[in-house]
């Protein structure tokens, strides 16, 4: 859902001089508020440092220095903007309880920072993911001090902007629109706000040039006010896995840069205004999870897996950023291998680098040399990152341990140690989050609760040091971008473009109205000035639109869906490795295959294809509703096993469970919290037809599915009917497989209802 709010071209045409003037004004207006907000998981400086003074040095569960508690817990670090605390987390229902689990999902909770009162709560469904409830709410939200808006990345791949009162301003479905691959075990990224952009990264296999064959780790930058996509970049090589390293923004040698860890095991620097890659290097044989930390012109990075050039596990490194801008290969100041720091991010303060290891040891390293100063054991599993405030370290450990420490170069003094028991049952509470600090209050989120610590008196706060100054912009146009970068247009919704012109350092110089050229695939579309329009087509097309400025060229991507009441694919025209041009994630797994002279779309089973056996393909808008999807499906036996195969409508899946002789509807694969199955006799090497529709009426979703052998008459009755009291009201049509063996689709049809 896009925001209906429109912004003038004058706002978009803001020059670099206007930006500097506005930036100075905002600094004056925001002043102390910026220093006391905690707008991202690592605070206002992206480094885990709070400038507040007069904070607590100890507390206890019997009430000492506890201002309020809430029974809602989670695993993400909360963010604080103004006097409001925001947390994304699971809902309280028990997915093991057959009655409660149907209402289980995800939620955003907003508390009053001072009182703990719930100001608003937004519950929503989890769908089309195998992420389990214990890992729902993995990513922290982020806030924008300029607008007061907050941003969310859900475990279902929804990227959403709320205002401070919980109104949804815009929403994008990263899976259904861009082919996001949801993180294994919950690993998804926090968003980051920089200037007019909100940036999110994820693994994806999209369409066209970004179709694959394998996924890449992409950074997507959206207009923070409208949700329009501005740029996309993939700075690395093929990823080794999903990750959750959050990029940081700094200025080096007069240039604004963004640095993040990648799914390929590398560290990369990009221009945050354009996405242009500046430099990068491979560090680990696995994905990087720890976020980088910048102190002046030094970059500190860590990981906990195999090094690319050393037999030891884990490494902590210090990089000279000034040298990195010209020669990254000679920019390493020091490295210390053998510290496994895969999860928590380092913290720098006053010449010391603090690193929480995977095994719960807090290392203090000399930031100039990497020499080990001391080690303090905090427990056995380190996930939370250290936070520095008021001369103290606030550190969590997974098994309920909460530490307040007073460090020096010589030793680490314990001021407070509290071990939190589980709220229900035996054992410890669990803590994956880091502290968030604002206005004298220290917010701690655990699995079972949220605790606000403090004395209740206002804290004093020192000003945040400004970033180094950027070099002055030049008039040379060195890069251009056509925006929005990717869109779906229709006969009712043409698209108007703007051409953004940047200097060599990424400063925006001007925005102009472009003259557009369409790629041959879009020959049926029309251009008029800077606008692209399409007639109603009886087929889907995808291609690019381009524009030039002097000797530079910029490209944007367009899809157009079939505009008639029925979409149909039989794949007979596909050759080689082709897949339908508008389909997301198809090329990564599927290809045309021959069945007795008939072409179908085949997906290889385990052993023949990389990646997980579960896979989804989407080919419509996330706002679609009131349609029926139908497809012929085929399962190839392997020994005595068969795969699962199905179709998707409104974010529900109707599938054949080949090994169980059943058909089933489901929406959240990890828990089958809203699933129903019935007996259906299945044999291998047989084509079946699946037909599925969802009707949302009276606040409920009514699901209807049919299955029958190809060649038999369609049954008059539905094979399966089900009611969901928490409806998914819209969603793209798609295909689903759990490809333990080879399987195939043919005669895919989507029919729209009035």
Scored b (16 or more CB within 10 A) or e, 686-701 reads ebbbbbbbbebeeeeb
Q: What's the CA gap between 206 and 583, in Å, rounded? A: 8
Q: What is the pLDDT of residues 457-514, one digit of tens each?
A: 988 999 999 999 999 999 999 999 999 999 999 999 999 999 999 999 999 999 999 9
3-state secondary structure of 543: strand
What 3-state class would DSSP assign to 61? coil
**Is the pLDDT confidence value at 184 over 50?**
yes
Would you call 720 helix, strand, or coil by DSSP? strand
Question: Tokens 């071209």 appear where?
Answer: 9
State how far the Cα of 750 lies from the Cα of 619, in Å rounded to an integer: 10
What is the rounded average pLDDT for all residues in the chain? 94
Phi-psi region of 387 (alpha: psi -120 to 50; beta: other; left: phi over 0): beta
Say if residue 644 is exposed, middle or buried (CB neighbours under 10 Å; 0-12, 13-18, 19+): buried
pLDDT of residue 245: 96
Cα–Cα distance measured from residue 355 to residue 349, given in angstroms and rounded to the nearest whole number: 12
Measure the CA–CA gap between 271 and 260, rounded to whole angstroms.
Answer: 11
CATH number among 3.40.190.10, 3.10.20.30, 2.60.40.2310, 2.60.120.560, domain 566-752: 2.60.120.560
* pLDDT value of residue 378: 98
- What was the pLDDT predicted at 736? 97
| Token pair recorded at residue 455 | 């004395």
The string of pLDDT tens digits covering residues 415-426 is 999 999 999 989
Average pLDDT over residues 192-198: 98
Q: Smallest Cα–Cα separation from 268: which of 259, 465, 276?
A: 259
Per-residue pLDDT, averaged over 527-556, amounts to 97
Which residue, among 303, 269, 348, has the nearest Cα to 48 in the 3D structure? 348
Query: What was the pLDDT predicted at 359?
Result: 97
pLDDT of residue 670: 87
CATH topology of domain 10-461: Methylamine Dehydrogenase; Chain H (2.130.10)
Share of the chain above pLDDT 90, in %: 90
* Alpha-carbon span 35 to 457, nearest angstrom: 17
Average pLDDT over residues 736-748: 96
Structure tokens at 280: 């990068």
* Span 270-274, average pLDDT: 98
- Proportion of the chain above pLDDT 70, given as a percent: 95
Q: What confidence score (pLDDT) does residue 673 get?
A: 80
Residue pLDDT, tens place only, 561-593? 999 999 999 999 999 999 999 999 999 889 999
Lowest mean pLDDT among 606-620, 694-708, 740-754: 606-620
**Looking at residue 183, what is its pLDDT?**
72
Domain map of the chain by residue range? 10-461, 472-560, 566-752
> What is the pTM for the complete model shown?
0.94
**Phi, psi dihedral angles at 402 (to 5 degrees):** -125, 120
Asked, colleague to colleague, whether 10-461 and 566-752 share their fold, the answer is no
Please give the Cα distance from 139 to 192 (Å, whole number). Answer: 11
- Report pLDDT digits (tens) over 127-158: 999 899 999 999 999 999 999 999 999 999 99
- What per-residue confidence (pLDDT) applies to 605? 87
pLDDT of residue 672: 83
Mean pLDDT over 510-522 rounds to 98
Segment 256-271, tens digit of pLDDT: 999 999 999 999 999 9
Asked if pLDDT for residue 58 goes beyond 80, the answer is: yes
Lowest mean pLDDT, pick from 191-200, 456-465, 614-623 = 456-465
pLDDT in the model for residue 10: 32
Q: What is the pLDDT of residues 10-57, one digit of tens each?
A: 333 344 445 444 444 444 444 456 668 999 999 999 999 999 999 999
C-alpha distances in angstroms, 149 versus 106, 124, 140, 231, 525? 19, 19, 14, 21, 37
pLDDT for residue 1 is more than 50 = no
pLDDT at 35: 67
CA-to-CA separations, 190 to 149, 199, 249, 361, 498, in angstroms, rounded: 15, 9, 14, 25, 28
Burial bucket for residue 732 (CB in 10 Å: 0-12, 13-18, 19+)? buried
pLDDT at 2: 35
Token couple for 23: 């930036």
Q: Where are the beta strands (DSSP E) in 50-173?
A: 52-53, 66-70, 79-81, 84-90, 106-112, 118-124, 142-143, 150-153, 158-162, 168-173
Region 552-567 average pLDDT: 98
Report yes or no: 670 and 129 within 8 Å, Cβ to Cβ. Answer: yes
Task: Please report the pLDDT score of residue 608 as a whole number.
Answer: 66
| Structure confidence at residue 609 (pLDDT) | 62
| pLDDT classification of 607: cutoffs 50, 70, 90 | low
Confidence class for position 754, pLDDT limits 50, 70, 90: confident
**Rounded distance, CA 40 to CA 162, Å?**
15
Residue 318 belongs to what H/E stretch?
A: strand 313-320
> Considering the domain 472-560 in this protein, what is its CATH number?
2.60.40.10
Q: How many CB atoms lie within 10 A of CB 423?
A: 12
* Interatomic CA distance for residues 649 and 629, integer angstroms: 7
The whole-number pLDDT of residue 212 equals 86
Average pLDDT value for residue range 102-122: 97
Q: Is the predicted pLDDT of residue 285 greater than 50, yes or no?
A: yes
| pLDDT of amino acid 12 | 37
Three-state secondary structure string covering 480-541? EEEECCEEEEECCECEECEEEEECCCCCEEEEECCCCEECHHHCCCEEECCEEECCCCCCCE
pLDDT single digits (tens) 426-456: 999 999 999 999 999 999 999 999 999 999 9
Question: pLDDT per residue over 329-375, tens digit each?
Answer: 999 999 999 999 999 999 999 999 999 999 999 999 999 999 999 99
What value, to the nearest 5°, has the Cα angle with vertex 521 and ends 520 and 527?
Answer: 70
């Amino acid at each position: 859902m896009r925001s209906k709010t429109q912004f003038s071209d004058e706002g978009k045409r803001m020059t670099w001089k206007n930006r500097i003037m506005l930036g100075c004004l905002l600094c004056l207006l925001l002043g102390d508020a910026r220093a006391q907000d905690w707008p991202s998981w690592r605070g206002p400086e992206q480094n885990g440092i709070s400038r507040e003074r007069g904070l607590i040095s100890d507390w206890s569960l019997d009430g000492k220095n506890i201002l309020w508690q809430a029974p809602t817990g989670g695993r993400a670090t909360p963010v604080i903007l103004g006097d409001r605390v925001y947390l994304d987390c699971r809902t309280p229902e028990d997915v093991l309880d057959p009655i409660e689990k149907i209402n289980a999902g995800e939620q955003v909770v907003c508390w009053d920072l001072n009182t703990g009162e719930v100001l608003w709560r937004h519950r929503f469904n989890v769908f089309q993911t195998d992420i389990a409830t214990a890992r729902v709410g993995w990513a922290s939200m982020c806030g924008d001090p300029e607008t007061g808006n907050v941003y969310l990345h859900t475990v279902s791949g929804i990227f959403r902007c709320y205002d401070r009162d919980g109104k949804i301003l815009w929403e994008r479905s990263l899976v259904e629109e861009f082919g996001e691959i949801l993180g294994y075990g919950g690993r998804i990224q926090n968003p980051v706000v920089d200037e007019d952009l909100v940036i999110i990264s994820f693994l994806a296999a999209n369409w066209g040039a970004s179709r694959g064959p394998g996924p890449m780790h992409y950074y997507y930058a959206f207009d923070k006010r409208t949700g329009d996509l501005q740029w996309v970049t993939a700075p690395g090589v093929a990823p080794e896995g999903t990750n959750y390293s959050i990029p940081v923004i700094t200025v080096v040698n007069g240039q604004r840069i963004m640095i993040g860890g990648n799914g390929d095991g590398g560290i990369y620097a990009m221009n945050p205004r354009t996405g242009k890659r500046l430099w990068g290097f491979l560090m680990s044989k696995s994905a990087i999870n720890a976020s980088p930390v910048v102190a002046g012109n030094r970059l500190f990075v860590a990981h906990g897996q195999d090094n690319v050039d050393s037999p030891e596990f884990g490494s902590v490194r210090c990089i000279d950023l000034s040298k990195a801008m010209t020669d990254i290969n000679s920019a390493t100041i020091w490295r210390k291998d053998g510290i496994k720091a895969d999860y928590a991010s380092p913290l720098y303060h006053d010449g010391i680098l603090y690193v929480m290891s995977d095994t719960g040891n807090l290392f203090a390293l000399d930031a100039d040399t990497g020499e080990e100063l001391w080690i303090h054991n905090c427990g056995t599993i380190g996930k939370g990152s250290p936070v520095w405030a008021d001369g103290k370290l606030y550190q969590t450990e997974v098994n309920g341990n909460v530490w307040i420490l007073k460090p020096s170069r010589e030793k680490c003094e314990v001021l407070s140690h509290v071990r939190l028991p589980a709220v229900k049952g035996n054992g410890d509470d669990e803590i994956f989050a880091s502290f968030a600090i604002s206005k004298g209050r220290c917010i701690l989120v655990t699995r079972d609760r949220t605790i606000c610590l403090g004395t209740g008196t206002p804290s004093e706060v020192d000003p945040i040091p400004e970033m180094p100054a950027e070099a002055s912009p030049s008039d040379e146009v060195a890069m251009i971008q056509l925006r929005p970068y990717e869109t779906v247009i229709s006969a009712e919704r043409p698209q108007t473009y703007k051409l953004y012109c940047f200097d060599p350092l990424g400063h925006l110089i001007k925005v102009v109205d472009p003259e557009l050229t369409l790629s041959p695939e879009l020959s049926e579309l029309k251009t008029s000035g800077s606008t692209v329009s399409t007639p109603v087509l009886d087929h889907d097309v995808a291609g690019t639109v381009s524009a030039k400025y002097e000797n530079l060229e910029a490209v944007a991507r367009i899809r157009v869906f079939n505009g008639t009441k029925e979409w149909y694919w039989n794949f007979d025209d596909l050759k080689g490795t082709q897949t339908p041009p508008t389909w997301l994630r198809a090329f990564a797994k599927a290809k045309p295959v021959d069945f007795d002279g008939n072409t179908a779309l085949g997906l290889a089973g385990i052993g023949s294809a990389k990646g997980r056996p579960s896979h989804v393909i989407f080919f419509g808008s996330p706002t679609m509703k009131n349609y029926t999807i139908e497809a012929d499906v085929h399962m190839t036996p392997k020994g005595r096993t068969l795969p699962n195969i199905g179709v998707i409508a409104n974010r529900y899946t109707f599938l054949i469970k080949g090994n169980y002789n059943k058909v089933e509807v489901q929406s959240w694969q990890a828990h089958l919290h809203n699933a129903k199955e019935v007996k259906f006799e299945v044999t291998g090497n047989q084509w079946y037809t699946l037909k599925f529709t969802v009707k949302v009426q009276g606040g409920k979703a009514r699901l209807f599915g049919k299955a029958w052998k190809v060649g038999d008459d369609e049954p008059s009755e539905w094979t399966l009917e089900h009611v969901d009291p928490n409806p998914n009201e819209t969603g793209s049509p798609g295909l689903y497989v759990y490809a333990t063996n080879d399987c195939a689709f043919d005669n895919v049809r989507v029919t729209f209802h009035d």
